[in-house]
Copies of this chain bind each other. A is one copy, B any other.
Amino acid sequence: MADRGELGQRKAAVLHTIVEEYVRTGEPVGSETIAERASLGVSSATIRNEMAALEELGLLSHPHTSAGRIPTDAGYRHYVDTLPARGRLKDVQRRAIASHFAEAILDLEEVLKGSVMLLSRLTQYAGVAVPPGAAEEQLVRLELIDMGPTMMVLAVGQHGRVDKQILDRPEHWSAEAFHGAQRKLRGLQGKTYSDSQAKLLELAATVSADEHDLLLVVADVLRLATRGDHATHVMVGGVANLADEAQTWRRETLRRLFETLEREQEMLQVLHDVAADDVSVTIGAEHPTTGGWEASIVTAPFRAGDVNLGTIGIVGPTRMDYLLAMASVRAVAERLSEAATELDQ
């Protein structure tokens, strides 16, 4: 067996057992328990020495003298980083995932919503997702619609994305400018969002001032749609799980957690910060925002081919079943990537 981290094999084993036991029961774990559970062939006294050392290293903590140990954030971190194997989901869970992805995918957004709920059911935590930006998606419709006193910019993407924005008509309004703009927009159908946006800025320079304004407004709608980091809806689902009795959060912490989950901008920021190439785990105070709520985040990106589309994951207590969470998020993200890749062709 290889060394785990820099701890030495036995310390690592002790740490792992403590994390798993604590996650399972919610009670601080004593040396006896570990001596029984982890088959290390040493007595509880030896375990006690190891635990003292682990506490010295900042990986464990002591609620009080005569209680067992609980992992610190750093302890969880070490545990997660030295997990010997990927978690395997149970058959029920695999079936749940399979059946969720069984039908042909029509609308990625719908599937994503469903996946968030699926993750929340699998893990009993809250599911979150950042849907794809539209940059490389092709436009199948791009319209400026006259709605009497207002106008609507409407963009429809190849994969079913629809962006709309309703705006006041610009002050300088003329039917010719409007029709001119409409015609130019029609010419952009088939191009990608970002190409169209660039093209619009170009075109805007060549036309009348009135039409110029209109085209810029449309360009701005496209800009917002392409930026994954703004004005996107963060999807959140299954938050009721966080209010479960099993969770140890105090009311005030729970409240702040819910508040953040509701603030899309803040959640986007958090999810953006924790994004990584593979399954990523952020534990408690590792992120300034989550530090305030004793929560951990497990996310993974999903892709179409090689391009990252978005992020999906879960939010739960630091005392989390990381193996389950990581396996679930990984599995769902993979299926989602397959689905998105297929859709992309």
Contact = CB atoms under 8 A, between A and B. Distances in A.
Interface stretch (A44-52, A152-160, A209-217, A270-278): A152-160
B168 A106 contact: yes
Contacts of A245: 251-252, 255
Interface in A289-341: none
B156 A154 contact: yes
Given A245-B251, A251-B245, A160 B141 contact: no
A36 interface: no
A167 B110 CA distance: 12
A237 interface: yes
A269 interface: no
Interface in A140-178: 140-141, 143, 145, 147-148, 150, 152, 154, 156, 158-160, 162, 164-168
The A interface, classified by DSSP as helix, strand, loop or mixed, is mixed
A232 to B, nearest CB: 15
A145 B140 contact: yes
Bin the interface of chain A by size: 35 or more
Contacts of A255: 240, 243-245
A295 to B, nearest CB: 14
A143 B142 CA distance: 13
A258 interface: yes
Nearest to A160: B166
A104 interface: yes
B147 A160 contact: yes
